[in-house]
Structure 1
Amino acid sequence: MMFSLNNFSTIANTPTRAPILELFYQALGNKVGAIVLESLVIATGVGCEIACHTWQSRLCWTFARDRGLPFQRYLAKVDKKLDIPFRAHVTSCVIVAILGCLYMASYTAFNSVITGCIVLPYVSYAIPVICLLIKGRSNIQHGPFWLGPFGHIANYVLLCWTLFTLVMYSFPTYMPVQAGSMNYICVVYGVLACIIATDWWARGWRKFKGPRDHHHMTADAVSSDQ
């Protein structure tokens, strides 16, 4: 597709606000063909969206079950008829929908959130690795997937890559920087840190106990509404 690019300004300023659609049109020279290719992208996106919503609803339910979220009693319920964590699913969808509205309000703010979606998972991976290295890899029970010394190397590669992404993805897209082209990912980090700190000091340190035993987790998962 990049080899087919012949007018970058048209793509950057496309009235559809979907640069990939304009790029398809430049590549094919045909609106119908561009729409067909874009439809394939949309179909793929819909499939990925279903998988992402399923994953995040289960993640929300699991964390609420372990008392790691506000309103955990509400979010940790499993719908008996549907046999899914319906409340956690709806809550996750609403939050994603609100964040999606940023695209209509501010393209710059939306891009900052997208950047956070790239970097923050690396941070979440790095935290248990740091804890593992502090405790000592030889001081834990080894599971079936144990790489030995190669795992040690992989741990440090992950930490170096996380640090690299934290720095590189915080840069603006181009210079000179203006208000509309600034990368506000640092604001996303700050807001997220404030939310986590507020919730931790307000209730988290008293209620969060970590994963409980299997019996209690199963009982909580299937308990009816009180």
Structure 2
Amino acid sequence: MLIAILFYVGDIDNALSTPTGFPFIEIFKEAVKSNGGATALTSIVLSLMIFATIEVLAAASRMTWAFVCDNGLPGSRFISQVNPRTKLPLYSVALSVLITLLLGLINNGSSAAFNAVASLVVSGYLGSYTLPIILILHKKIYHPSSIHYGPWTLGRRLGIFCNIFGLLWIAIVMTFSFFPSVRTDLTLETMNWSCLLWGGTMIVGVVSYFGYLRGRYNGPIVETDIIEQVGHRV
């Protein structure tokens, strides 16, 4: 896909300064030489974005529900409730949808603030892997006998190499993801504020844990009835 985009990108400045505000639409137009064709291709992309958004919201609501079941958020007892009729965690779904809508409204007030939140995708996505990799690497080095591997493994040495390589890769990519998109004439609009938001999120998380959740979070809580059902089926 990247090769196809680079092949048909044409004039990069023209694509970046397109009146639509979306360079990929201009690339479609240059590729097919037709407004109708560009509209059709854009419709496909928008449809995929809509379906992906629904899937992401479903996954986020389930993750939220699992977290509140472990008392990981304020108001967990209320949010973790499952609707008796639909058998769905509707409060977790509503919370995920509400947060998504509020984040979308940021663009109405400041495009720079919205872009800062959107730019957290890379650093947040990669940062979520950092702690698990560090923990498993620590166990592989100092407590290898305590790890219960699955039916397939890379082995201790190759696994350690992959973990270290992954951490180095994350450090490099995250560092560059905090850089602004322009090198000169930095303004409040062109500055990349994702580093500030990422650091603020980490601070809020640490303060919340030690100030509120440390004595309340007892997860992960295992549903014994589900384990028994799975055991009977097996």
Structure 1 counterpart of 2:212: 203
Structure 2 counterpart of 1:175: 183
Structure 2 counterpart of 1:82: 86
Amino acid at match of 1:210: G
3-state SS of paired residue (2:214)? helix
Larger RCO: 1 or 2 (CA < 8 Å, sep 6+): 1
CA contact (8 A) 2:72 2:213 kept: yes
How far apart are the structure 1 equivalents of 2:167 and 2:33?
45
CA contact (8 A) 1:70 1:199 kept: no
1:131-174 deviations in whole A, cap 9, x for unaligned? 22223343222222422132222211211111112211111112
Structure 2 counterpart of 1:140: 147
After TM superposition, the score normalised by the length of structure 1 is 0.86
RMSD of equivalent CA atoms: 2.1
1:97-136 aligned within 5 A = 97-135=101-139, 136=143
How far apart are the structure 2 equivalents of 1:163 and 1:138?
29
1:16-62 deviations in whole A, cap 9, x for unaligned? 32222222222223211111000000111112112111111110000
Alpha-carbon distance, 1:217 to partner = 8.2
Alpha-carbon distance, 1:72 to partner = 0.6
How far apart are the structure 2 equivalents of 1:118 and 1:168?
10
Unaligned runs of 5+ in 2: 228-234
The yes-or-no answer on 1:193 pairing with 2:202 is yes
Structure 1 counterpart of 2:231: none
Amino acid at match of 2:196: V
Amino acid at match of 1:204: L
Deviates more, 1:154-163 or 1:126-135: 126-135
Structure 2 counterpart of 1:47: 51
Closer, same or farther: CA 6–128 of 1 in aligned 2, 3 Å: closer
Amino acid at match of 2:170: T
Alpha-carbon distance, 1:198 to partner = 3.6
3-state SS of paired residue (1:101)? helix
The yes-or-no answer on 1:20 pairing with 2:4 is no
CA contact (8 A) 2:62 2:92 kept: yes
Alpha-carbon distance, 1:90 to partner = 1.1
After TM superposition, the score normalised by the length of structure 2 is 0.84
CA contact (8 A) 1:126 1:159 kept: yes
Aligned residues: 218
How far apart are the structure 2 equivalents of 1:217 and 1:57?
20
2:171 to 163, 173, 181: 163
CA contact (8 A) 1:65 1:217 kept: no
Amino acid at match of 2:45: V
1:177-202 deviations in whole A, cap 9, x for unaligned? 22221111111113212321342234
How far apart are the structure 1 equivalents of 2:192 and 2:56?
25
The yes-or-no answer on 1:32 pairing with 2:39 is no
Amino acid at match of 2:166: L
Amino acid at match of 1:185: S
Percent sequence identity is: 27
Alpha-carbon distance, 1:8 to partner = 3.7
